[in-house]
Structure 1
Amino acid sequence: MTDDRPLFAAALEPVKAAAMAPVKALFVSDAREGLLLIFVAVAAIVLANSPFAHGYHALFHSVLPFTPVVKLDTLHLWINDGLMAVFFFVVGLEVKRELVEGDLADPQARRLPVLAAAAGMALPAIIFVALVRDDPGLDRGWAIPAATDIAFAMGIVGLLGDRVPQRLRLFLLTVAIVDDIGAVAIIALFYTVKVKAIWMIASVLVAAALAVLNMRKVDRLWPYVVGAVVLWLCVLNSGIHATIAGVVAALTIPMRTADDKPLLARAEHGLAPWNAYLVVPLFGFANAGVDLRGIGLDGFLAPLPLAIAAGLVLGKQAGIMGAVAGARWLGIAKLPDGTSWLQLWGIAALCGIGFTMSLFIGTMAFADTPDLFEQAKLGVLTGTLVSVLIGYFLLRVVPGPAEPESE
């Protein structure tokens, strides 16, 4: 009798590979980061709606018995104004690397994602303002749905494995980086209440000193770190949000030392794991806890959460897809090679994952109105969840990579 077992095992290989693909994807770096953010968001919501809700809020908002910085007298403030400066420092490093040596350095390569990101920020803001126009005071949150969470979005893409072409991953990453640049500019320009001249002058002088270190090609990181901390303290007291110091300090780090060693890359690689696995999750855990008890359908359809969710879901997709279609029609750009319109739609949906940056902007927009910030959190989490479901579904069911589009 012939043994058909090897033949049968070979026939099962494709089925086994398909079944194991999602499991393997869980161990990809991008996927781990995204899953961690999902976990902390769920944990925060569960605690905020449990008998431990009071303890959860007290942990972050109770006045600390001691603080070395008077302005930061709660754990929540230390996370939002202190640890998040590290997040923005890493963002600044990433932005500089992309502008100098990455895809943003090539005018042709950056054209499409920059246009898509600009439209993907403008349209959500327009939708938000249109939906809250009859409610005075809510328009302060216009920038909340304009942001994209890089780690969360790339984490979902990581779960999809090779179903997402590499060029489409790069497109998403570039759009999200341009989004970050826009978000930083928005924070600096529109969420600065009152500037204190003395501290502002001190901030400029410290930034200038860091620039001198750059020009002299100082090849050690510690002088930049010391300067960054001093700059953060000055900016914190100036009235501008302290996290802007992180971006400014990052831009002064040289790409390479005098003997051509990659100084910026060393700093980025050293901080990236701390940023991904401590800073961002801790921020999410401290800010995502929204009390859902007693909130019915009317709560989700209130002007503020509805406007934020609509901006993230509808505005992001329509803005990005519209920009790509317009650029293609005008002949100034084309679809990334090996991608289809449906795949691009899935990526546009994932750009509606606001989470970290959206929550962060929400903390500034409604700093003095906790009730409105709770509504803003509800809108961010709803819009993010819907965007995840739409994006994951589209990228999961769409066939493999398309043929490259002809010029």
Structure 2
Amino acid sequence: MSEQPVLLPYGDPAFVADPFPLYRQLREDGPVRRVVIAGALEAWLVTRYEDGLAALSDSRLSSDVRDAADIRLLQQLPDTERESMLGNMLRSDPPDHTRLRRLVSKAFTARRVAQMRPRIQAVTDRLLDAVVADGRADLIEDFALPLPVTVISELLGVPVDERHEFQHWTDRMIMRGAEPPDPAVVNEAWRHMRGYAGELIGAKRAEPGEDLLSALITARDEEARLSEDELVAMVFLLLAAGYITTVNLIGGGIAMLLAHPDQLDRLRSDPGLLPGAIEEFLRFDGPVSPGIARFAREDVEIAGVRVPRGATVLIGSAVADRDPERFPDPDRLDITRPDNAHLAFGHGIHYCLGAPLARLEGQIAIGTALRRLPGLALAVPPAEIPWRPGGLRGPLTLPVTFTPGG
């Protein structure tokens, strides 16, 4: 391709608030576009649905960043991640990925997740109990953030008094912006999380429980199915990935409804539409943007475009999920949209393991908030809502008002 790469301008507040006009232009320009992402790194963005679907199942595209030709990708990773955390499921390929995924898959089956419904509902109600009398809240800090933190912490067996610290470190580990974050701050957070994971594993070895982490330790110590570094990396992945995308789904979903009052009214009048509404939130403005990174193991042709070996391929799920060839009237939020097979959770062997849990948390959180917070409205103009600047997308704060005592 002869075109100059297009900058994704994460330093532009207008783009951060609404990247979809640029995404639409890139999709219209061609099925594969060279782009410059955060950190001045170049990638090949796959813009259309069918091509993205195929790329997510293409074994020639690796999840392992060590297959990237641009050494800056590795150099920009925190020291601790380079040294001992690259072996997690998100960054591995078969056969390691198959082995690691099998170890935790039973914890995220639809049946197992459904059994968590009463507990998720109880946590949701407790969080709303704390704000209903006030008539105002920040639905990120007060609600969308602590709910997934509590759920994944209980699943893994993280003590209550330690959850705030791991959330604090995780927020710094995944800091993103127009410019690379301060390496010293990020490295310190990674070291803290690496040390904390080791301490938590030690505590569970001494006193095993019924939680997922205790089961993983058994697989490590008695069955030798994963190394110590893989165990630590698994703990990190489940803690970090297990909450931030769900925060974005809940907060982003409520923000979308407030921006589309016709859809809000329709969902209030028919709560049975909630499952389909969650899928539409994921398609319309999901928690990962612009998409999912892969690295070409060899020269690959995608939609007639030759992508060289070692190139970073960015499968633009957020771009493809508004492809008019796949979704009629794609720029319209429609909570009754049929056949909504979006790419927000990926596809193929790396399809998000936590998707059933995220869906359930989203349904319970958003449904309960709409029921218990009558008169829900933004407390500030929509333009004043700050959004995460790249990679992981969602509102950073969501100040709202509502009728007290709902």
Higher strand share: 2
The interval holding the TM-score normalised by the smaller chain is: under 0.3
**TM-score, structure 2 length as denominator?**
0.26
Higher helix share: 1
**TM-score, structure 1 length as denominator?**
0.26
**Greater C-alpha Rg:** 1
